[in-house]
Every structure is written in C-alpha cells, then in structure tokens.
Amino acid sequence: MAKPKNGQVDRRGFLKGAAVGAAALVATPAAAQAPQQTTPPTSPQGPPRGAAGPSAAQLAADTGEPPPVSSRLVQNPGSDFMVDVLKTIGFEYVGANPGSSFEGLHESIVNYGQNKMPELLTCCHEESSVAMAHGFAKIEGRPMMAFLHGIIGLQHASMAIYNAYADRVPVYIIVGNWMDGAERANGVNSYHSAQDMAAMVRDYTKWDDEPVSLGHFAESAVRAYKIAMTPPMAPVVLVVDHDMQERPRTQTNLRIPRLTLTSPPAGEMGAVREVARLLVAAENPQINCGRAARTPNGIKLLVDLAEALQAPVNGGGDRVNFPSRHPLAGSAIGEPDMVLNLEVQGGPRSTGGRTKAVSITSGDLFLKSNIQDFQHMAEVDIALGADAEATLPSLIEEVNQLITADRRRLFQERGAKLAEAHRLARVQAIEAGAYGWDASPVSLARLAAELWAQIKDDDWSLVSWQGFISGWPGRLWNMHKHYHYIGGQGAGALGYGAPAAVGAALANRKHGRLSINIQTDGDLNYAPGVLWTAVHHQIPLLTIMHNNRAYHQEVMLVQRVASERSRGVDRIHIGTTLTEPNIDYAKMAQAYGMYGEGPINDPKELAPAITRGLERVRRGEPALIDVVTQPR
Amino acid sequence: MRANHQLLAAAVTAAILLPFAVSAQTPGAGAQTAAATGDARNGRQRYLDYKCYACHGYSGQNGPGTRLVPTRMNMAGFLAYVRNPRQMPPYAANAVPNRDLADIWTYLQTLPRSPAAKDIPLLNQILNEK
C-alpha cells in the first residue's frame, strides 16, 4: 500500500478503521464503557495542568477488578469457517492487495489457517492478483484465488478478469462487501460497498453469488469451484459480507459439501461418427486448434488423431496443443477440403462451399450477450457443442475404425509431403533468424536463440506471450509439453504479461521448472509492483525485457493512418513511444530488490548476461535482464 | 496499446512483407549495384524520423516489414514503389519528399548485411536438433 501523502489517511481502511472503532465504542455495553469514559486522559507529561484529583468513581475504576473478558473479543469468527471451506477445496494460494472489506478473512488466513493452503501472496495491484491467478491456472490446470477489496478492488481487477474470461481460464475471486446498510459506516465503507457487487463483472464471469450465511457460503464456495472448472472454464466471483466474516459463528450444524467436478461434455456419438467419416474421406484435411488441449493429455490425443489421419495441425497461439517440431505441425498444402476447428473462437464466415468445416467447442454451450468475444458466426457443416479434448478419444476411435488399407497408404503419402513441408518451413525459419544477427538493437530471433541455447537442457517453461516478439520461440524452440507455452492475454489487454508470468512461475516452482518471461516494456509499466511480489515470495523467474521503447503496435498503426492521410509520419511517436527519458528496467528491478542488469544493446553481451541471470534463477530468485531490441 | 489490433497488424505485416520479398535462403544476395547518389547521413536521420524502422527494423531487415538489406530495387523503383505501393501504406510527396527518399535509399546501401544462417553456429545447432 502506498504511504499516505501529506498526512492524509490512505484509501484503504484507515478512515474506515476509525469509523469502525467509533462504532464499536457506541455498541459496547455501558458497564464496559464506564471505565473508559471516566478515566482521565494520561500523558507522559503527567496529569493535565490544573486537573482536579481523581473522583471516587475513577479510583474505583483504576483499582477495581476489570471484567474477566472484554466483550469485544470474538471467538470462532465466521471467517475461520470460511477458511475451513477454502482449505477443503484445496487452494494453494490467494493473491491480495489488502483491504478492509475482507480483513476478517485476511486475519483468518494468516492466523487460523497458519498461512498455508492457501498462502497469502502480497500483491501491489488487484489486476496483478487476478492476472497472477490467470497465469497460475494455465500451468497448474486449476484455480488460484484472488481477494478483492470491495468495488475499488473489483474495478482495479476487472480488466484482468476479462482477460481470463476470454482466455477460458478459471480464476476464483472473493470480493469483500458491507451488505448491511444499517451497520455500514458512512464514508469509505459506503463508497466501497454495492447492492449487487458482481454486476460490474457479470458480463465476463461465469457465475457469482453473495451468500447470506456461513452455510450458504460453504455451498456457494464449492459450487463456484465446480462451475469454474467445467468447460468452458471461466472466472467466478463470490461476494462475502464483511460483517459475516467478523461475527462469531453461531450455527452448529455447518457442513461443507463434497466437491465433485463435472465431467466435461463430450460430443454426441452420431455427430462424432459423421465428423470421423468426413475426416477419413478428406483428401486434404486441416486441423486447427484454439484452446483445445485443456490438459497434458490433450496434446497426446491431438498427436494420435493427426498421426491416424496424417493430417496437418495448426497448433494456434493460445496453448501448446501440438508439438512444435512434429512433422505434421503446420498447415495443409494448398486449399484444404476439410477443416476441423477445435476450441477455436469464431471461425471462417464462409468457406465458399469448397471446404467442409466442423467445429467442436464448449464455447457454444456458454455465450453471453454484451461482450462480443463470440466473434463472427462461423459457417460450418457440423457444430458440436462439446469439449474438444473430451470428444477426441471417441473421434480417434471412430477414425481408426474407418481407415481402410487404401486410405492408409494415401495418408502415408500425404504425411510424407507434409513432413517435407514442415522441414522446409523450419529451414526457412532458421534462415530468417539470421537477419540482423549482429545488429544493435538486438534482434528478437537472436534473443530467442541465445536463450534457447542456455535453457534447452532444463525443464523449462515460457510463461509469456510471443505475439509481440514475432513468434520466435515457437519458431526456434522445441515446444511439446503443456507448460512450454501458455499463450497470451485472452482479450488482448496489456498489463497481463508481467503478473501472469509471475503466477505461472509460482505454479512452476514446486515442479522445479525454469520459468522464462520475455517481457514487453509497455506491459510491465502497467503494474510493475509485481516484480516486488516475485522477490518477496521468492518466485524464481528470468525476465528478459523486450525493450523496444514503445507501444510498438500503435506506432505501426498510427503510422499507417497518417500515411494514408498524407499528413506525414514524423509526429506519430507522440503518444506511442516510451522515450525521453528511456526507462531503466535494471534499476527498476533493483528498486524492488531483484537482480537487474542492462540495458544491453550489443548482441555479443547478451549470452553472458543470460548466464548471470540464470545463475540467480536457478538459485531460486527472480532476475531481470534489460535488452534493447529491434521493434519486432 | 490494445492488442485487439493484432489481426490488423498481422495483415499490415503480410502486406508489407510481400512486395519486397527477398529469398529467405539467400541473405546477402542481390547486392545493390546502382550508384548511391543521395546523402546517407541525412538518409539515416530520415529513416528514423519517418519511422521506417517501425516495420523494417533499425537494421533494415528485422520486423514485420520486408527486408530492405540488401535492397533489390534501384532508387527509381524504390521511389515509385513508396508512392504507390501494392501492400504497404502509401507515402505522398508532401509527407516524404523525393530528396529524403533518395537519401533513405542511399542509407540502406550502407547498412551491413547479415551473415548466412549456415555461418552462425547457434542457428545450425538449432536446425540440427531433433
């Protein structure tokens, strides 16, 4: 929390704390208040000048027996039971920027719960809390929690929630609220409260509830987890009353429902058989993947399907769906006559009737009206409202049953051509990697190649998006495990990169994986405090800055507009670049207590700097190397 | 920046790449033989001012734009293309004068070419990995 300026109280709870304190005094029974009300103020300087001697009542108060237990002490607060529920569900971590609306839960986590399962992670921004949970879930396959402070915390977090929603990632959010308008203090408590707190994010969350009792909390907490984890996965929100956290637990028959996850919906068998028939009959099929491989087994299933058909797989950029160096990784040669889209959002508006198209996506089962993430209405011949990974086993089985010896021979010929195309594409990528090899600033291909040389023998994990770095890791590295790459923001909003990388690195830590974050400069500047979180919680992560000193995509886009209007392009740096002054990211890292090095302009200095950074990371620390790069 | 422009940028990228296409297998080939008649020093400054680097890299050969080093067009072709490109955004004479374009073209001739991939051990090592 930032220090208050000029003696002003901070937004988070000090005003509110004073208000609650006053309220508590008013609510305290008269007998307990009497000594406080009658005891004269004391000071180190002695009694006030001219004060009279103590009255009989004051003397009695000072020398008499105090009440054995203050009536303000709370036994068995409701938030302890909430922690029991959260432990039962099995959360490992909760990220939070502290706030008074969930102070009861906060205290119960760190004291009653011993700060284990879940452990509280100190975050410097609510967007960081949620984005960390976003990155964590993509590695671990299950949610991390974020606690948010009332309306203000939820608004800070809202962009990260939308990113996770668009990326089909489960994030578990608890928001504090003061529900009882009669008890709620004026001032900040009221500013931070809402009648329908979750309304502001309901367009891009899957489910929310605001339980009114502890029993209700237990049921909704388990239900929320179950819903978040059922494809299509998405964030869920529980709004938790401040006073319910604080009040003593009075119910004696509270129970925590057993959690049983819902089996992902698989495709209807009649439709699956028809898809198999089309695939086996196709001369030039193409398999496209969005977020198809939900689990590590999804990658294996896609390999099985592709190899059975000898069909090319476009693995997409959202997950590792298919091994990057598999001979069938790539696109069809020429126009495909059959396209299978697996968990691809949107799709071709029309295939012109020449290409059969099939869509398998759980996204068809859950759409909302306002946010337009559903994209264009894809024209397909068969649409299966089902989870692709859950449907793949039956689809593979049906395909295998339909393949005759003749088709198998044809498939093998096709596979050989695709393997050769894959080999050539790889050679071309290597040749393109040489462009600007010795240039300064450093080329992104060289950055990726130098990194790969030093991590390829580790159990590594790229925890950042590669869209802004021209996809060089995917072109040069051997990505074949689910944690080798976790895709991007989801909704394309900056501010995701740094915290999601830290969250993913947190998930990788217990597996002993080496986490690598190629970090864009524009993204880091949204909420750089997450660097401190990584240091404070000892999360090993090597961050390599892709420091092109700009919001570079906008440089190109504004340049295009200006040139099309013939107005000149010499001013398009205004509002798009991050220069004058240049930002010193090594010093930024150092300010947060992290090893920081750079800026590196000479490509020959890059490999030794990576070595030094990796030494720190392999010891369990985060480290940052600032590399000044070619724009793309 | 809002990355919902990614698709648009990809389209721009593809658009810029196509017209100048230089064989990926022949870095260093296609050496420019036309005599440099502009001012390379001014060309460097104009290359930066007009943000040519945004799509073509500071190196003239990195990024979504096509490789400009080595340049396959002569100066006349270069000027004509920039005024009426098939793919990349058009630049009118009032925005980028001919003199500056000539200087930029001259500057491009001075930029160092890249080594061939076969001469870079690190890239060869990656290529030979399974």
B99-128 pLDDT tens trace: 999 999 999 999 999 999 999 999 999 999
Sign of the dihedral defined by the CA atoms of residues B116, B119, B123, B125, in that order? positive
Contact criterion met (CB < 8 Å) for B94 and A568? yes
Name which of A476, A488, A564 is nearest B89 (Cβ-Cβ). A564
Contact criterion met (CB < 8 Å) for B59 and A439? yes
Query: In the CATH hierarchy, which top-level class contains the domain A269-419?
Result: alpha beta
Per-residue pLDDT of A399-414, as tens digits, reads 999 999 999 999 999 9
pLDDT of residue A455: 98
- Cis amide bond preceding B70, omega within 30: yes
pLDDT of residue A251: 87
Angstroms from B77 CA to nearest CA on chain A = 19
For residue A54, what pLDDT band results from cuts at 50, 70 and 90?
Answer: low
Give the predicted TM-score (pTM) of the model.
0.87
Average pLDDT of span A291-300? 96
SS3 label, residue A335: coil
Q: Most B CBs within 10 Å: which of A167, A375, A430, as the mutation test of the B interface?
A: A430
pLDDT of residue A309: 98
Angstrom distance (rounded) from CA B87 to CA A70 = 79
Q: Is the pLDDT of residue A428 over 80?
A: yes
| Tokens coding A305 | 């399907």
| A555 → chain B, closest CA residue | B54
Residues of B with CB below 8 A from A564's CB? 89-90
Task: Compute φ and ψ for B3, nearest 5 degrees.
Answer: -75, 5
pLDDT of residue A25: 35
Angstrom distance (rounded) from CA A445 to CA A461 = 18
Residues of A with CB below 8 A from B50's CB? 569-570
ipTM of predicted complex: 0.84
- Count of domains observed in chain B: 1
SS3 label, residue A201: helix
Chain B (36-95) residues lying within 8 Å, Cβ to Cβ, of chain A: 49-51, 53-55, 57-59, 61-64, 67, 89-92, 94-95
Per-residue pLDDT of A432-461, as tens digits, reads 999 999 999 999 999 999 999 999 999 999
For residue A46, what pLDDT band results from cuts at 50, 70 and 90?
Answer: very low
Please tell me if residue B29 touches chain A, with a CB cutoff of 8 Å.
no
Per-residue pLDDT of A590-631, as tens digits, reads 999 999 999 999 999 999 999 999 999 999 999 999 999 999
C-alpha separations of A618 from A47, A271, A304, A540 in Å: 62, 50, 35, 7
Residues of A with CB below 8 A from B30's CB? none
Please tell me if residue B14 touches chain A, with a CB cutoff of 8 Å.
no
pLDDT of residue A59: 66
Range of B36's domain?
3-128
Per-residue pLDDT of A114-172, as tens digits, reads 999 999 999 999 999 999 999 999 999 999 999 999 999 999 999 999 999 999 999 99
Q: Does residue A542 or residue A378 have the better pLDDT?
A: A542
Contacts of A28 (CB under 8 A, 6+ apart): A71, A72
Looking at A61-65, A96-100, A193-197, A327-331, which range is the least confident one? A61-65
Contact criterion met (CB < 8 Å) for A436 and B115? no
pLDDT of residue A14: 39
Q: What is the CATH number for B10? A: 1.10.760
Residues of B with CB below 8 A from A632's CB? 55, 57, 62-64
For residue A354, what pLDDT band results from cuts at 50, 70 and 90?
Answer: confident
Average pLDDT of span A534-541? 98
Cβ neighbours, 10 Å, residue A245: 24
For residue A52, what pLDDT band results from cuts at 50, 70 and 90?
Answer: low
Q: Is the pLDDT of residue A8 over 70?
A: no
Q: How is A379-444 classified by DSSP, letter by letter?
A: --SEEEES-HHHHHHHHHHHHHHH--HHHHHHHHHHHHHHHHHHHHHHHHHHHHHTTTTT-SSBPH
- Find, among A164, A92, A100, A154, the residue nearest to A499 by Cα: A164
Angstrom distance (rounded) from CA A567 to CA A142 = 51
Angstrom distance (rounded) from CA B27 to CA B9 = 25
Name which of A449, A492, A630 is nearest B62 (Cβ-Cβ). A630
Contact criterion met (CB < 8 Å) for B126 and A430? yes
Q: What's the one-letter identity of residue A191?
A: Y
> For chain A, first and last CA: distance in Å?
36
**Is A78-246 a CATH 3.40.50.970 domain?**
yes
- Radius of gyration of chain A measured on its C-alpha atoms: 29
Contacts of A352 (CB under 8 A, 6+ apart): none
Residues of B with CB below 8 A from A553's CB? 1, 3, 5-6, 9
Domain range list for chain A: 78-246, 269-419, 434-628
Q: Is the pLDDT of residue A556 over 50?
A: yes
- Hey, do A78-246 and A434-628 end up sharing a CATH topology, with the first three levels equal? yes
Which of left, alpha, beta for A46 (phi over 0: left; psi -120 to 50: alpha)?
left
Contact criterion met (CB < 8 Å) for A436 and B4? no
Measured at the alpha carbon of residue A124, what is the angle toward residues A119 and A130, in degrees to the nearest 5?
Answer: 65
- Radius of gyration of chain B measured on its C-alpha atoms: 16
Residues B90-104 as b/e (b if ≥16 CB within 10 A, e otherwise) read bbbeebbeeebbbbb
SS3 label, residue B2: strand
3-state secondary structure A103-122: HHHHHHHHHHCCCCCCEEEE
**What residue ranges of chain B have pLDDT lower than 70?**
1-36
pLDDT of residue B37: 77
Contacts of A503 (CB under 8 A, 6+ apart): A95, A131, A132, A133, A134, A135, A136, A137, A144
Per-residue pLDDT of A264-277, as tens digits, reads 999 999 999 999 99
| A432 → chain B, closest CA residue | B24
Name which of A426, A434, A572 is nearest B27 (Cβ-Cβ). A434
pLDDT of residue B82: 95
Query: In the CATH hierarchy, which top-level class contains the domain A434-628?
Result: alpha beta
| Tokens coding B117 | 């991939």
Angstrom distance (rounded) from CA B127 to CA A325 = 11
Contact criterion met (CB < 8 Å) for A632 and B50? no
